[in-house]
Structure 1
Amino acid sequence: MYNAVFKNIQEHKMYEALTSVSEMLSRNLDTLCQQPLLVCGLLEDNMPVLLADNGPAPRVFTTDFRYAQWLNDNGRITPEFGSAPSVQPTQGLLLLMPKAKAEAQYLLAACLPLLAPGAPVFIAGDNKGGVKSAPKLLSPYCKQVNKLDSARRASLYQAELSRPAPAFHLNDWISRYPLEQEDLTICTLPGIFSAEHLDAGTQMLLNETTRLSGRVLDFGCGAGVIGSSLLKRYPDIELEQIDINALALEASRLTLAENGLQAKVYPSDGLNEVQGYFDCIISNPPFHAGLKTFYSTTETLLCEAKRYLRPGGSLWLVANAFLPYAELIEQSFGHCETIAANGRFKIYRAQA
């Protein structure tokens, strides 16, 4: 338990120091602080607070629930958390380049309609994280894109909105693919894991999962593949789906609606927002945060899951075969059963 609490503290501390991208941005505060900006994208530090300290306070939109909570706790800026910003007009945009180019396109489409022609648009990011595509990303909206700065392996691009951006409609960004084995249609949004097809790890987990009943938690639900598949097989279960990403949560809701299914879907940083006890917790857990490999969320889950299970309740997990998750499960549950394994993945099960 101590390790889980310590990791949670460390996760929140990680936002306090400026990233290399923000260190580069700090050299350009005179330009960035000429007007209040809408800031969105890969938010990883207290750059919004730095902007507020040097000019008009920015408006922050984030799809990351953990970051939204941290910024709220900081007390200086109240962020917007969701799948799209509110329609309130804004005077400029700073996009921190997300990991997926498709997500950057989505965020520009969602945010630029809030700007008037002539408003400044900035894109910043790690040089290895796709920021060099900024001129192409902005070409539908801006006549000229200039590189304003480059330092610490990061770059900042600047442009002006040339014409009113088209109105944003979420439905334009929904993709679908069939899950024929379950007779389901999966709805996805840009940047979500396994956005174009069912990934091999989830397929393996679904193949091995046996009869479930009672209250079931789909941890890190993504587009809702696991939860919707379980509801299709076992319609009497009481399903809850949680994720840290607003786009994943929205995709899960869309998948449920598309298939005439019902579940409780809500944001949670790990198990922090979960109430009560479950008969099963099931997950293909995430291991990336932005551009970084990030195992802490899963490790905390394995340490804490038993406390959220009823007696006899089970934890089901698929993970890359090389990860030492079996040892963590054994430490928490006293045992760990490997249900299936191949060269890439292992399926683990433990009972409370």
Structure 2
Amino acid sequence: MFEALTPVSEMLARNLDVLTQQPLLVCGLLEDNLPGMLAQAGPAPRIFTTDFRYFQWQEQQGNSQIEFGVQPTQGAPGLLLLMPKAKAEAEYLLAACLPLLAEGAQLFMAGDNKGGVKSAPKLLAPYADQVNKLDSARRASLYQAELVRPAAPFKLASWVKGYSLELEKAQAPLQICTLPGVFSAGHLDSGSRLLLDNLGNLKGRVLDFGCGAGVIGANLLKRQPELELECIDISALALEATRLTLAENQLNANVYASDGLSQVNGTFNHIVANPPFHAGLKTFFHTTEALLSSAKNYLVHGGSLTLVANAFLPYPELIEKSFGHCETIAVNGKFKIYRAVRRS
């Protein structure tokens, strides 16, 4: 999945003489073995990632210089930030990483030209006097600056935003907590709303697959506090947002990182999902295809899988192949809700 170098890394390969003059802390949209390429050409970098799948893959490569979480704990003489898909997430990563760097540290930003990297000068302006464009190739660009103004100590709480979500039956609104780059970060999307409106009453052990900001899980627990809820995601920022959302509403669930269903144990009465559709700038089906093909094995007899998806995606065929049937229970034009039950 991460084997081939991305165009951004191919462009960076032309600049290894500059990038390997000092060990770097590498973070952001990591999609290949760029750290390995850097280590072959010079000092091994430290890696910080909020992506559990990438963290696991690097560990499997034998790389122990990697951290997974909401903020790094160890810095390096320099920083290489690969532009994430959300500008707010880039601001967050700079704020989290730069306090660990000394004044005079070299700062590099790279990314796809259509992915927001052209905003590098503005993003680095609070920390640097001058930002230079070092290279542009493969529709990607590399910027360089020097840290001349120490970054303020990082405080996660200052990056938490939120909104209220009205519920039915005169219940108090849910308070949703979000972090940069997390799905449903600013509002309840229409797909999640359609899903929530069509879940009905659930029972027993429930898995919120791809929990995001915890909107679905918190809604379920608010309606039915007796549920035994587990919330999984590959994003450390999503997991933290879910924990904050649950705590803000005095709700409890088991929240943990999982690459698909790989870290899940046992079986469930229900799996509920608003699965990812985009990863970085690319359409991304792998996680959902893996879920649809294996979900049946994680359900008790009579247990159900319910998910929302863009109407044009070919998920019914995949669900039918695994479960033997697929029911479309709701449509709102853009989204469809699919449900399947384990019958054997």
Task: Tell me the TM-score normalised to structure 2 length.
Answer: 0.97
> Does 2:334 correspond to 1:344?
yes
In structure 2, which of residues 254, 257, 276 is the aligned counterpart of residue 264 of structure 1? Answer: 254
Aligned residues: 338
1:273 corresponding residue in structure 2: 263
SS of 1:90's equivalent in the other structure is coil
Contact 1:142 1:161 in 2 (8 A): yes
In structure 2, which of residues 155, 167, 176 is the aligned counterpart of residue 181 of structure 1? Answer: 167
Letter in 2 for 1:315: L
**Cα-to-partner distance string for 1:61-91 (whole Å, 9 max, x where unaligned):** 00011111110001144310001101x3421
1:348 deviation in Å?
1.0
> Does 2:107 correspond to 1:117?
no
2:208 corresponding residue in structure 1: 218
SS of 1:338's equivalent in the other structure is strand
In structure 2, which of residues 1, 19, 26 is the aligned counterpart of residue 39 of structure 1? Answer: 26
Letter in 2 for 1:214: G
- Whole-angstrom distance in 1 between the partners of 2:2 and 2:293: 23
**Cα-to-partner distance string for 1:131-184 (whole Å, 9 max, x where unaligned):** 000000001110000001111111000000011111100000000100111621
Letter in 1 for 2:120: A
> Does 2:272 correspond to 1:282?
yes
Q: Which has the higher helix share?
A: 1
Contact 2:194 2:332 in 1 (8 A): no
2:54 corresponding residue in structure 1: 67
**Cα-to-partner distance string for 1:189-211 (whole Å, 9 max, x where unaligned):** 00111210000000011011111
- Whole-angstrom distance in 2 between the partners of 1:224 and 1:153: 36
1:106 corresponding residue in structure 2: 92
2:68 corresponding residue in structure 1: 81
Alignment of 1:1-352 (within 5 A): 14-86=1-73, 88-181=74-167, 183-352=173-342
- Which sections of structure 1, spanning at least 5 residues, go unmatched? 1-13
1:296 deviation in Å?
1.3
Contact 2:75 2:97 in 1 (8 A): no
Contact 1:314 1:351 in 2 (8 A): yes
SS of 2:231's equivalent in the other structure is strand
- Whole-angstrom distance in 1 between the partners of 2:3 and 2:250: 43
1:5 corresponding residue in structure 2: none
State the 4+ residue runs in structure 1 displaced beyond 6 angstroms.
Answer: none
**Cα-to-partner distance string for 1:10-47 (whole Å, 9 max, x where unaligned):** xxxx3111111111111111111111100000001111
Contact 1:187 1:252 in 2 (8 A): yes
- Whole-angstrom distance in 2 between the partners of 1:158 and 1:78: 23
Contact 2:11 2:141 in 1 (8 A): yes
Contact 2:25 2:75 in 1 (8 A): no
Task: Tell me the TM-score normalised to structure 1 length.
Answer: 0.95
SS of 2:167's equivalent in the other structure is helix
Contact 2:45 2:65 in 1 (8 A): no
Let me know the Cα RMSD of the aligned residues: 0.9
SS of 2:237's equivalent in the other structure is helix
